[in-house]
Structure 1
Amino acid sequence: MKFFLIAGAINAFLSVALGAFGAHALEGRVADKYLATWQTAVQYQMFHATGLLIVGLLMSTAFIGPISSLNWAGYLLLAGIVIFSGSLYVLSLTGISILGAITPIGGLAFLAGWIMLIVAALKAL
């Protein structure tokens, strides 16, 4: 529980910081398509940081508690942030297009994480 709350807060912080960095430091230094890619990474990082916070909060309540599917949900969302957003950040800075092949793996981790959150909710009902 505590881990996912901390991971969510750290990722929300990083999302804001990296969004500001992209808007101020990268503008005019990278191609517009890479600025758009950077923004996508920031948005998905924030969305899924919020998901991590939700997982942590659900684990802390008597309503759901520490269900293994919640653990899976949290770890998959975190892996998705690292793989999806991380690959897009590196792609934006380096232009290494092969990183685009890694990004969908992070997207699949996001999807699996949300499915595991659904499973946890169904188990708790």
Structure 2
Amino acid sequence: MNKTILLTGTGFALLAVILGAFGSHGLRELLDARSLSAYETGVEYQMYHALFLIILGGTDFLGDKHKKAVFYLVTFGILLFSFSLYILAIAKAMNVDLGALGIITPIGGTLLLLGWLLLAIRIFRQYA
């Protein structure tokens, strides 16, 4: 499981660098300030959570069952949160209304929060 978590984390980190560069160089002229800010937020949160996955995959203080649960929560959280922001920002630049997709972003954010919460609970129970 650690190998999967580490590879997923490094893959998300690599993709965050690529998407960040694309946003900075390719989208700066196409997006309004609000859309660009949302896009950049997606990149930042993706990178933060990619690093979180790399750290998670490199540690052994969590049991496999809980580590796997945190991994899935964070992975799906990144996909729903960050990628919905990318899609919404780019769609707006293309004059495509995908506003209904906006409901996915807070679901992804909730999954990220649950991943952190589960980690905190497991740490508290293990070291209490």
Residues 53-72 of structure 1: pairs in structure 2 closer than 5 A: 53-58=54-59, 61=60, 64-72=61-69
CA–CA distance in structure 1, aligned partners of residues 71 and 126 of structure 2: 16
Q: 2:4 maps to what in 1? A: 3
> Equivalent of 1:82, from 79, 86, 89?
79
Q: 1:52 maps to what in 2? A: 53
TM-score w.r.t. structure 2 length? 0.88
**1:119 to partner: Cα distance:** 2.6
Q: 2:37 maps to what in 1? A: 36
SS in 2 for 1:102: helix
Q: Which amino acid aligns with 1:37?
A: A
Does the 8 Å contact 1:69/1:119 carry over to 2? no
Q: Which amino acid aligns with 2:33?
A: D
Structure 1, unaligned runs of 5 or more: none
Q: 2:103 maps to what in 1? A: 101
Q: 2:22 maps to what in 1? A: 21
Does the 8 Å contact 1:67/1:120 carry over to 2? no
Q: Which amino acid aligns with 2:69?
A: W
Does the 8 Å contact 2:62/2:122 carry over to 1? no
Structure 2, unaligned runs of 5 or more: 93-97
CA–CA distance in structure 1, aligned partners of residues 67 and 123 of structure 2: 9
| RMSD of Structure 2 on Structure 1 (CA) | 1.3
SS in 2 for 1:28: coil
Q: Percent identity?
A: 38
Moved over 6 A (4+): none
